[in-house]
Chains A and B, each alone.
Chain A
Amino acid sequence: MTESPDWPLWEVFVRARRGVAHTHAGSLHAPDAAMALHNARDLYTRRSEGVSIWVVPTATIAASSPDEKDSLFDPAADKAYRHPTFFQLPEGVEHL
């Protein structure tokens, strides 16, 4: 069906003009950083100027492990939003 690999996923962080810190705005697929930034400005900020945007490849984000009392991170800590098992896609049903 689809032979070409999908563009990588990027997480988008936005800091409003008078904001203090970047907040997570969502994600998008893009082939590289320039297109990710360009599309993110359109998709997530409706092109407002003066808004700072960061895009980060999702695969490079490491998230803290569930038990946050541990000060040592397990080097095998899962990447953000990724789960190791592949889920069988459920077939459609008669209604949502």
Chain B
Amino acid sequence: MGNDVEAVRPPGGERLLADVDAAERELTQARPDAPATDAAHFEALLAKDAKIEPRDWMPDGYRATLLRQISQHAHSEIMGMQPETNWITRAPSLRRKSILIAKVQDEAGHGLYLYSVAETLGVERKDLLDALHAGKQRYLSFINYPTLTWADAGALAWLTDGAAVVNQVPLCRASYGPYARAMVRVCREESFHHRQGFDALYALSRGTDAQRTMLRDAVHRWWYPALAMFGPPHDLSTHSDQSMAWRIKRFSNDELRQRFVDNCVPQAEVLGVDLPDPDLRWNPDRGHYDFTPPDFDELRRVVNGDGPCNRQRVAHRRRVHEDGAWVRDAASAYAAKHSRVVEEVAA
């Protein structure tokens, strides 16, 4: 194997990882409280920023909101495997192929953690998947765009994993313990993916003219879908206030989107690529970059099923699940025939 050169670091990545480390320290240092048995107890835990655990009493709305958010996050990890898997067999170097397979595998793993977290709230993974296949539960909008070239795989990782990290670092401090703990693991891996995506694009930026053209084209197509990941602006966002009160959400969509833009601009400069926004510029009065928001009507259309790839992505997922039924049934049948606690593996 050639020497694996360490991936080029995007500027700003270390600060986000430091936030994740701090959140993890808080989680491990927290003293376990007696489980909450009523609303007053629940509110008291929230007020002192302690963690709510599966055994605690919790309001139905809190449970329902968490379940929606966590299951949509899990679905996003699983569905998000598709646009990237698209480029595994054609990855242009063996190292990039390895990195991409590992990334997709991490996403499956994240989906598994998050479905487990959702299961602590009293549902079964099977029911969540049924809802996904029936179009009753959603997943992140960017997944409904196509990855048209190799550069798209890198742009997807740089921009959407970058956005995901900005979104998820605060969730490492979410009030629900299993979710916060899952987020610590997920964030660390996703920031690694973000870095690898940046590195893949960096290589293109230092390559041939044709590669630089491919890079620019991909970034131009993925910029607004990534910005749209943060959701509608706060005043149009139906659940944000309550989610913030329950400490499931810690910053507004607008604050997170701004943070993301501020991170990306210097990174784009390192890549030598312009972002597709003529109004993007530093505003010294605000201390942030001004930028054109994404088209929220388009976001609504895509979330409601009319993006370029929604039908294809859901159909793929449904077909894979149905095609796998005979395999799952075989394993269940074998287990029923051979129900012993310990099996010897013949080898």
Contacts and interface: CB of A to CB of B under 8 A. Distances in A.
Are A and B in direct contact (Cβ within 8 Å)? yes
Interface of A: 1-7, 9, 26-29, 31-35, 38, 43, 63, 66-68, 80-83, 85-96
B345 A43 contact: no
Contacts of A90: 64-65, 67-68, 137
A29 B109 CA distance: 12
B328 A7 contact: yes
Interface residues on B, range: 35 or more
B331 interface: yes
Interface of B: 34-35, 37, 54-55, 63-65, 67-69, 71-73, 76, 109, 112-113, 116, 119-131, 133-134, 136-138, 140, 167, 230-232, 237-239, 253, 299-300, 303, 321-322, 325, 328-329, 331-332, 334-335, 338-339, 341-343, 345
Dominant secondary structure at the B interface: helix
B71 A95 contact: no
Contacts of B232: 94-95
Nearest to A89: B131
Given A26-B113, A92-B72, A31 B137 contact: no
A82 B120 CA distance: 7
10 contacts: A2-B325, A7-B328, A32-B339, A33-B341, A81-B120, A87-B121, A88-B64, A89-B137, A90-B65, A93-B239
A86 B128 CA distance: 12
A47 to B, nearest CB: 13
